[in-house]
Chain A
Amino acid sequence: MAAAFSSHLPALQVVLALLAAPLCVVLRRPGAAWMIATVITWALLAIAMVLLGRVLETGTITYALGSWPAPWGIEYRIDLANAFVLVLVTLIGSVVMPYARASIPAEIEEPRIYLFYCMYLLNLAGLLGIAITGDVFNLFVFLEISSLSSYVMISLSRDRRALVAAYRYLIMGTIGATFYIIGVGMMYQVTGTLNMVDLATLIPNLTDNRTVMVALAFLCVGLSLKLALFPLHLWLPNAYAYAPSAVSAFLASTGTKVAVYALARILFTVFGGSVLIDDFGLQELLVVLAVAAMIGGSAVAIYQSNVKRLLAYSSIAQIGYMILGLSMASVIGMTAGLVHLFNHALMKGGLFMVMGCVFFRLSSVQVEDMEGLAKRMPLTMAAFVAGGFGLIGMPLTAGFISKWHLIQAALEKGWWGAVAVILVSSLLAVIYIWRVVEAAYFKPPPKGAAEISEAPLSMLVPMWVMIGMSYYFGIDATLTLDITTGAAETLLGGIQ
C-alpha cells in the first residue's frame, strides 16, 4: 500500500488539489473551505519536498499517467528544474493560506469566500500541473486551469475595479493561451508528437522547417503574455493592484514564476537541441525586452501612488531580471534566473502580504494614506522595509544573491550594458521603496486618521515567516544555489 502510494506521488501532486476544489463548493462554509485548502496545500508541500529529495537522490523521475506509456499517454517528468518549481509553488501556498484566514474576509464578501478557496485549489493544481508535466498539450490544459481560476480569484475582490482588471487579464490571457496552443498544434502537425522528450529529439532535424520556426514564435509570444514580459505586461499591474491581497501575494509569487519556468522548458528542453534559437535572434530579442522591462518597470513603479500597483510594476522589472538570466543561456546566467525566481517569490510574496496587513487596518494602500503608519503598525512597516531591502538587493537578503549571480553572469559574457542596467534598476528600486518608507516613517499621520493598531497575529506571523525566509536564503544560499545550478545544468543539457 505504502509503496503504491509513494510511487503515485507525481499524480497525487496534482490530483489532490483538483479533487479538493469541488469539496469546498459542497461544504460552502468559509472555515471548512479554509481548513481543506490549508491542509491540502501543506500535504502538497510535503509531497513536493519528497519528490525533490528523490530527484536529488536518484535523478529524473518519469511517471506515466494512467499507465499509458509515452508518447501515447501523458508523461509526468520530474527533474531538478521542475521539482524546484513544485516546492516553490507549494511553499508559497503553505505560507499564504494561514494568512488568508484573516485577510480574505476583509477583502471578499462573505458569501463568496468558499469560492475563493475552490479557485485557489484549482489554481494550485494548474500551476503544479504546468510544472510537473512532460507533455506540451497537457501543459496547455493546466495553463488554462490556472489562468481561468486566477481571473475568478481577482474578480472576487470587493473593489469593483477588480472586475475590469480581471476582464482585461481574461482577454490578454486568452490570447496568450491561444498563441500557445497554435504553436503546439503546429509542432504536432510537423512531428506528430506532444511529448517533450520526443519533440526534443525530433526538432533538431527540422531546423529548416518553416512551420517549426513559426511554432516557436507562437509559443514564445503566448508564454511571454502569461509571464508578463514587457511589452506584454499590460494586464498585470491592475490585476495585482485590485485583487485581494492574499491573491496578489500568491499569484505574484507563483503565477508568473511558473510561466517563466514553462518558457525556459520550451526554449531549452524542447528547442534546446536545435540551432533555432540562435538563428532566430531570439536571444537578442529576449535580452532587449528584459532590459526594457527592468528599466521601464522600475521607472514606472516610482510614479505609482497605489503601493500594490507599485509592487506590481516592480514585479515586471524583476521578471526582466529572470528573463535576462535565462536569455544568457549559460549555466550561471540560468542559475541566476532560476534562483531569482525563487528569491523574488519570497520577497514579493512577503511585500504583498504587508500590503494586505495595511489594507486590513487602513482599507487603503495609497501612499498618502500610509503617512505616519510606522508608529501605528511598526511590525508591518518594518517588514516592508526588510522586504524592500531585498528588492534593492542589499546584502543578507535573497535579492543580493540573485543580483550577485546575475552580475557575475553578465560579466562572464562581457555584457557591460546589462551590468549597468541591473545596477540602474536596483538604484531605481531604492527610490520607489524609499517613497513608501518616507511616507510611513517621516510624515505625521494625516489629520483625523483613525486610531488603528497592528494587524492580527495570524497575518503578522505568516508575513514575517515569508520575509524571514527571504533573509534565510540570502544569508545561506548554498542550498538554493546548489539546486538551481543543478536545475540550470538540466535545462541546458537537454533531455538526458
Chain B
Amino acid sequence: MISSRWTPYLFLAPALAGLLVFKLVPIAVAVGGSLTGMSLMGDLRFAGLENFEYLFTDPEFWSSLKITLLFNLIINPLQLAVAFALALLVFQPMPGLWFFRTLLVLPMAVSTGISAVLFGLFLDGNLGPLNGFLEWIGIGAQPFHRSQEQALATLIGIATWKGAGYWMLFLLAGLYSIPASVHEAARIDGASAWQRFRYVTLPMMRKPMAFVLVADTAINFLFFAPVYILTSGGPSGATSVLMFQAYRAAFTFSDIGRSLAISTILLAILVVIVVLEFRLLRAPEEERS
C-alpha cells in the first residue's frame, strides 16, 4: 500500500505534469536556446551570452523595449479603469441591463486577428468609414495606424475595445461578492455615495483588481497579432513591441538565438512587474501578517 505521505502528491501529479510539460520545460528550452547560435547550415552551437550582448548594443532593441514599456504603462491602467467603470455601470439595476452587458462582452467573441483586420478597414485612410465620418463632422481625416504619432494609441484603442468587456466580467463578479450588509451599515452610518465607493467598494475590490491587473499585464506584454496584421512594427518602429521583434527574429530572419534572448528578457521583465503589482495591491492586513 502506498503510504499516506505520498497520497497528496499522487493527486497533484497530473496537474504538476501539465505544469512541467507546458510551462516549465518550454521556459527552460527558451532560456537555454537564448544561449545558442545557429550556423547557416543549421548547426547549433553554444554562444554563451553573445545574443544578450548583441541585443544590449543594438539601438533597435532599446527602442523596442521603450515602446513595450510605454505601451504597458498606458494600456494596463487604462483597461483596468475602463473595465471597472463599465462594471460599475452595469452593476446598477436598470431596465434592459442584459442588453448592455451582452453588448459590452460581445468583442470577446471576435478573434483578435479578425478584429485587427476589421479595424484596418474601418480606420483606412482612403476607404475607411470612420474617416468619412470625421471629415463630415469637420475634424478631418486621421492617419491612425499609418502615422508614427497615432499608431501606438490606435493599437491601445483596439486592444481596449477587445479586452475591456472581458476584464469587466471579473470585476462585476467582484462587485457582486461584496455583501450588501456592508453597504447597508455604511449607509446607516450616514456615508455618502462617494464615501461608500471610496471606503467600502474600492478596498473590497482590491483582490479582483489585482487579478485583472496582473493577468492583463501578462497578456499585454505579449501583445502581438494587431501589430503583425496592422502595422508590422511601423511606422518607423512606433509599434515595434518586443514580441514582434522576437517573432521577426525567429520567423523572418531565422535567428532563433536572438528571438529566444528577447523572449527571456521579456519573461524576466514580466516577473518583476507582476511581483510589484501584487505588492502594490496587497490588502493592508496582509502586509502586516
* A and B: interacting chains: no
Question: Which B residues have a C-beta under 8 Å from some C-beta of A?
Answer: none
Question: Which A residues have a C-beta under 8 Å from some C-beta of B?
Answer: none
